[in-house]
Structure formats: structure tokens, C-alpha cells
Amino acid sequence: MSNTGTKPKTSTPQDTGSILDRVDKVLASYTHEKANLIPILQQVQQVLGYLPEEALKRIAKYVGDPECNVFGVATFYAQFQLLPRGRNIVRVCRGTGCYVKGAPRIIEELEKLLKIKEGETTPDKEYTLETVACFGSCALAPVMVVNDKVYGRLTAEKAKEIVKGIK
Ligand code: FES
């Protein structure tokens, strides 16, 4: 799956120093080889929670790969996040099984509740709302997963209550 279309966030100058310091700490444990790109991206994301633009530029320079290649890899793989995510990840299935049982209404109501669109994070970084193609739990349609906990046979109202109840 691809993340194409998501633009990396640019940090403020005061953030940049600490981001790059943390990136450099990760880089220090790798040699300057292009083959290290994916493991470096994975570890930097683990440390920062996402891959900001300045981190990708630093990594590109370190492994000696053009920036466009590194950005290409980071946007191609769904495992990489180019934007900061919230403390709580709310994912709603938009697969056919869930779609016909009301997923669009659930997504719409959660967008209203959280005042964000699918793929976005609330300004306080509490919630990220995402959709996925299928959780593989179609018998429970419509399905939502909040921080790895699965909720099935939902209505829009139930989904809102669950999200409101997250601490
Ligand atoms: S279609 Fe929603 S879990 Fe499969």
C-alpha cells in the first residue's frame, strides 16, 4: 500500500535541532550504505514517531542516496508515516463488507466528532483517524480498531461513544 500524496511535515527551526540530534544518534549505529536505508527509516520512525522532511534529508545525505529516492521509499511503504500521529489511532474499515454495513456513516460521524478528516490528526495530537482496506474481520462488519483493540458490529453512535471514552 502506498502513502502517495502525503506531504512531509516541516518542523519549526527550534524543533529541527532536537530532531536532527535524534536522527544522528540513530545514524551513528549504521554504516553509510544504501542497503541500510529501510532499517534506518524504521528506527528513526520508532524514535520520532514519524519521518519529518528534515530527517529524510539527513538520512539521504548519510546513505549517499538522492533525496528524491529516499522520499520515494518513505512514501511507497505504508509502514512509514510522514506526518506526526496522535496518541490514539482510530482506524475504520472501508472494505466492501464494512462499507455496505455503514462504514461511510461511521467515518463521517467520527470526522465530525474529532473535527478532522480521514488521514488527519487532531491539533492536540490526541487522535489520528485513518481508514484501512480490510481488517480481515469481515464477519464483524462494520469494524473499527482503536489502538489495536477491535470493535465490531458498530453503529455510528457506538463508534462515537467508544472514541469519546478513550482516555
Ligand atoms: S471489509 Fe471490513 S473487516 Fe473486512
Determine if ligand 1 sits within 6 Å of the CB of residue 143: yes
Atom nearest to 137 CA in ligand 1: 3
Q: Would you state the pLDDT for residue 78?
A: 85
Q: What is the pLDDT of residue 167?
A: 64
Q: Which atom of ligand 1 is nearest to the CA of 94?
A: 2
Which residue type sits at 106?
I
Query: What is the pLDDT at residue 6?
Result: 45
- Separation between Cα atoms, residue 158 and residue 27, nearest integer Å: 45
**Ligand 1 atom at minimum distance from 134 CA:** 4
Name the DSSP class of 138.
Answer: G
Expressed in angstroms and rounded, the spacing between residue 95 Cα and the centre of ligand 1 is 5
CA of 46 to the centre of ligand 1 (A): 28
Q: Cα separation of 125 and 148, whole Å?
A: 18
pTM above 0.85, yes or no: no
Q: What is the mean pLDDT of each run of 10 residues along the chain (167 residues)?
A: 44 68 97 96 93 96 97 93 91 97 98 95 94 95 95 97 90
What is the distance between the alpha carbons of residues 126 and 87, in angstroms, rounded to a whole number? 5
Domains of the chain: 13-76 (1.10.10), 88-164 (3.40.30.10)
pLDDT at 2: 41
